[in-house]
Amino acid sequence: MIKKYFLLNVLFTLSFISHAAPLDPVQLLSDFVGVDTVNPPGNESRAVDFYANIFEQEGIEYSSAESAPGRGNIWARIKGGDLPALILLQHTDVVPATKEYWDTDPLVAEIKDGYLYGRGVIDMKGAGISQLVSFIKLHRSGLNLNRDVVFVATADEEAGGIYGAGWLIENHPAIFEGAGFVINEGGSGQIIDGEKVFAIEITQKVPVWLRFTAVDTPGHGSSPRTTSSVSRIVHALNLVRENPFPPRIIPSVDAYFKSLSLKMDGKQAKAFANMKKYITSKRFQAELQESSPSYHALTRDTCSLTMLEGSQKINVVPPVAAAEIDCRMLPDRTAEEFIQDIRDLVEPAGVSVEVILAFSPAVSSVDSEFFKHIAKVTEKLHPGSRIVPAVSTGFTDSHFTRDLGIDSYGFNPVLFDPKDWRGVHGNNERVNIASYLQGTEDLHQIVSQFVID
């Protein structure tokens, strides 16, 4: 097996000699950051143009389609043998960034102190470029593949994927036919107490986005009534805030916490090794949420109060008020059950509950050929590292492909400093350049060793 991998690397190296244009992941990512695909509105067709130009230079055939004006998606395929295809899945949209709170221009990549700054360098243009590099290397190699490798870059993931992966599945299903595996965002590596720990995302909390609407008698702000549209909304939100869902530890989360506990000590190690017991303590719940909101979010269904709509004038009580809440449920029951729980909870407030978005829960197997391959290659590339199956608090487009029965894994093998995660959907998003380059090469090793006989 070692001889095989050595031969692959030699062949790859020889195949690149004839190509004048070396692949520079940092430059490619820097250029991609400058392609404005902030969602809303998206304009992901700009990303399609970016990738299309590269594919044309490389002689790679591709297809693209817009789900709506400006909402572009692009895909390409390297043909191989009859084994189930591997899809490299990414989204090209990014969340907004408020420039005045950044140290750099979020849409202009800048290198500072060994880091590359820019919106999307982690989520997920960075991983997207890593996938591109691997895809181009496979194409340039000219080697026989044991399966097709499909590059898919979609729109709209940050808003639910309706104009991206979801639309492609409905309108271009041939992209996904014959696919057995997907690699996407959702998992990565970090150093915990000196040990490299790589998390492979196998499932995620299910997003359930809800809108509360209240209708009541309008009037002058100087003469408040006993109820109003706004007071009903406040009542409903207060019911959600003061009645958190009870904690429960599902098996995949329990396995994740137990794995993390192996490098901990003291009370923390005991708690993570037996989270089912410790999470019953309200004091421990509060301490966990304070120290790590992301770990806490894995122990229960959650709702964040995020958007409010009321009057447009301070002295006018409006006839209609509304709020939107971002709920995430653990993937061990249906969204319909969860929504009914919310409706029952806010019934005393007299508001209507509308479902904006709700996905179905799904879990990918840790016993699949591809999961075992990712773990094996990563452990070989990083001796002494530990691989853990993980549950993501956020959602990705993998839920679409899991619904098709395709084993889908979130994994970008970059080793991150935990502090760098603050920039994801926040200010000063950045990635360590050395770690990014290593992660890009690691991803290529994972992909190439899986698809080349």
How wide is the angle at C-alpha 331 spanned by C-alphas 328 and 333, nearest 5°? Answer: 105
pTM: 0.88
pLDDT in tens, 25-46: 999 999 999 999 999 999 999 9
- Sheet of 352-358: strand order equals 302-309, 320-329, 206-215, 352-358
Q: Which fold would CATH assign to domain 206-358? A: Alpha-Beta Plaits (3.30.70)
Angle between helices 369-381 and 433-451 (to 10 degrees): 130
Beta bridge partners of 199: 388
pLDDT in tens, 280-329: 999 999 999 999 999 999 999 999 999 999 999 999 999 999 999 999 99
Instruction: State yes or no: pLDDT of 166 exceeds 70.
Output: yes
Closest among 308, 303, 305 to 323, alpha carbons compared:
308
How wide is the angle at C-alpha 138 spanned by C-alphas 136 and 139, nearest 5°? Answer: 65
Closest among 60, 46, 53, 59 to 88, alpha carbons compared:
60
Q: How far apart are CA 243 and CA 238, in angstroms?
A: 8
Which residues, 6+ apart, have CB-to-CB distance to 2 below 8 Å?
none
How wide is the angle at C-alpha 425 spanned by C-alphas 423 and 431, nearest 5°? Answer: 35
pLDDT level of residue 426 (50, 70, 90 thresholds): very high
> Would you state the pLDDT for residue 10?
44
Note whether 121 and 429 are within 8 A (CB).
Answer: yes
Q: How, if at all, do strands 386-392 and 195-204 pair?
A: parallel
> Would you state the pLDDT for residue 12?
46
* Residue 276 token pair: 């089912």
Instruction: State yes or no: pLDDT of 18 exceeds 70.
Output: no
Which residue reads 């487009």 in tokens?
397
* Residue 231 token pair: 């007071």
Q: Which amino acid is at 174?
A: A
Helices (H), 243-392: 251-261, 266-273, 275-278, 282-291, 293-297, 335-346, 369-381
Is it true that the peptide bond before 40 is cis, omega within 30 degrees of 0?
Answer: yes
- Sheet of 430-432: strand order equals 110-112, 115-117, 430-432
Q: How far apart are CA 355 and CA 340, in angstroms?
A: 11
Helix, strand, or coil (residue 260) = helix
Break the chain into its structural domains and give their ranges. 2-186+396-451, 206-358
Note whether 317 and 218 are within 8 A (CB).
Answer: yes
The structural architecture, per CATH, of the domain 2-186+396-451 is 3-Layer(aba) Sandwich (3.40)
For the chain, the residue count is 453
Chain centroid to CA 94? 11
pLDDT in tens, 45-73: 999 999 999 999 999 999 999 999 999 99
Q: DSSP characters for 367-386?
A: TSHHHHHHHHHHHHHSTT-E
Say how many Å lie between the first and final Cα of the chain, rounded. Answer: 11
Domains 2-186+396-451 and 206-358 share a fold: no
Query: What is the rounded average pLDDT of the residues 400-421?
Result: 95
- Radius of gyration of the chain, Cα coordinates, nearest whole angstrom: 24
Note whether 211 and 322 are within 8 A (CB).
Answer: yes
Q: How far apart are CA 50 and CA 104, in angstroms?
A: 23
Query: Rounded to whole angstroms, what are the CA distances from 201 to 187, 260, 363, 364, 374?
Result: 5, 14, 9, 9, 11
> Would you state the pLDDT for residue 240?
98
What percent of the chain lies above the pLDDT cut of 90?
90
Closest among 272, 248, 268 to 259, alpha carbons compared:
272
Helix, strand, or coil (residue 139) = helix
Note whether 128 and 90 are within 8 A (CB).
Answer: yes
Q: What share of the chain is helix, strand, coil (3-state, %, to 5)?
A: 40, 25, 35
pLDDT in tens, 382-395: 999 999 999 999 89
Sign of CA dihedral 163, 167, 168, 172: negative
Query: What is the rounded average pLDDT of the residues 73-90?
Result: 98
Closest among 224, 243, 221, 222 to 349, alpha carbons compared:
243
What percent of the chain lies above the pLDDT cut of 70?
96
pLDDT level of residue 262 (50, 70, 90 thresholds): confident
Helix, strand, or coil (residue 435) = helix
Q: What is the helix (H) or strand (E) element at residue 207, kind and residue range?
A: strand 206-215
